[in-house]
C-alpha cells in the first residue's frame, strides 16, 4: 500500500510559492546564519601576532580563522609571506595560495 504513495516533498511546496516568497526565505536564512564580528582586545591581537611570527619562522602548518562578511571561514596551510605595509598574509594551502587581510583574522593556531 505504501509503495503506491509518491510524495514529492519540497518540490510540491516550492512550486506553489511565489518568487518573492522564495527570495525572502533565502534572505531570512542568510540573516539567521550571520555571525557578529568578534571583539578582540589587545591581548588577543598580540597572541595572533605572536602565532603568525612563530608559524612563519618555523614554516609549520597553521589553522587560521577569518571573519568574512558575517561568517567565519577556516583556512589551513603554511604562512609564506607577511606584508606589513599592506597588512596582508599569504597562506600556501593544498588548494592554492590565499591572501588574507590581517584585520579580519580572528585566530591563528600552529598545528604542530
Q: What residue segments make up the domains of the chain, in order of their start? A: 2-33, 42-110
Mean pLDDT of 71-88: 92
C-alpha torsion 112→83→72→30, nearest 10: -160
Supply the mean pLDDT for the chain: 85
CA distance 20 to 76: 39
pTM, 2 dp: 0.69
Question: Would the pLDDT of 87 be above 60?
Answer: yes
Name which CATH class applies to 42-110. mainly beta
CA distance 17 to 32: 21
Amino acid at each position: 500500500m505504501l509503495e503506491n504513495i509518491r510524495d514529492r516533498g519540497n518540490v510540491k511546496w516550492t512550486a506553489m510559492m511565489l518568487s518573492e516568497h522564495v527570495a525572502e526565505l533565502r534572505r531570512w536564512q542568510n540573516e539567521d546564519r550571520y555571525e557578529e564580528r568578534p571583539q578582540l582586545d589587545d591581548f588577543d591581537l598580540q597572541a595572533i601576532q605572536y602565532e603568525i611570527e612563530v608559524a612563519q619562522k618555523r614554516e609549520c602548518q597553521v589553522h587560521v580563522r577569518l571573519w568574512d562578511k558575517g561568517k567565519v571561514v577556516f583556512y589551513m596551510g603554511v604562512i609564506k609571506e607577511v606584508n606589513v605595509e599592506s597588512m596582508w598574509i599569504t597562506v600556501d594551502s593544498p588548494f592554492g595560495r590565499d591572501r588574507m587581510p590581517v584585520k579580519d583574522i580572528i585566530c591563528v593556531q600552529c598545528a604542530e
